[in-house]
Amino acid sequence: MIMTLQLYLVRHGGTAWSVSGQHTGRSDIPLIPQGEAEARRLAPRLQAVMFTHVLTSPSQRARQTYDLSGVGPKAVIDPDLAEWAYGDYEGRSSADIRAERPGWNVFRDGCPHGESPAEISARADRLIDRLRVLDGNVALFSHGQFSAVLAARWIGLAVIEAQHFRLNTASLSILGYDPHHPEVAVIAMWNTSA
């Protein structure tokens, strides 16, 4: 039986900073009780899928979401699934940043002392190259803005286009291929919640 690759992209559950709108890149903050409940609500949908591989960001919020979702097999920590490194903008809201830097857009401008759009694009492309050789259903536990970049790069768009791919906490998206045109990468499902 020939299997095709499908990427089940899961954004972590809510944290104090996702609620307040603060950029959370490398700060390792946990899920709040609401985020834990969101992650548990993913369980019935994810446990119904047989996964060949499970990868998670190193952050505890992504790992907690994986743990609470009850997905098997054991997750492998993959540093390429980490959130955008926000550098000087870590812990700040977009509105606060734009008060100092009008018109700022992370997908176009990046972050001082953090990742640039070119760097995050290269990281997403490196991950995609590794994922494309896998087969079957692959679960990826990651973050909002990196996942948006991953989706944009999956279908061949520039990083700036990721600004159009908003993700809620504890959402599920699926990246794959068109069954009638298996060489065409598609976003099969986007930003669904349990």
Q: How far is residue 79's CA from residue 138's CA, in Å, rounded to a whole number?
A: 16
Give me the pLDDT at residue 189, please. 97
- Summarised one tens digit per residue, pLDDT across range 138-186 is 999 999 999 999 999 999 999 999 999 999 999 999 999 999 998 999 9
What are the tokens at 110?
A: 């990046």
Radius of gyration, alpha carbons of the chain: 16
CB 138 within 8 A of CB 6: yes
Q: What mean pLDDT comes out for the span 82-97?
A: 96
Q: Which CATH superfamily is domain 6-193 in?
A: Phosphoglycerate mutase-like (3.40.50.1240)
* Residue 2 in this model has a pLDDT that exceeds 80: no
Q: Output the pLDDT for position 1.
A: 38
pTM: 0.96
Sheet containing 51-56: order of strands: 76-77, 51-56, 137-142, 6-11, 171-178, 181-193
Average pLDDT of the chain is 95
Whether the per-residue pLDDT at 70 is higher than 80: the answer is: yes
Query: Is 113 among the catalytic positions?
Result: no
Q: What is the mean pLDDT of residues 68-83?
A: 94
Q: What's the pLDDT score for residue 146? A: 98
Catalytic residue among 36, 38, 53, 83: 83
- Residue ranges of domains in the chain: 6-193
- The per-residue pLDDT for 73 is 76
The verdict on whether 83 is a catalytic residue reads yes
Cα 57 to Cα 142: distance, rounded to the nearest angstrom: 5
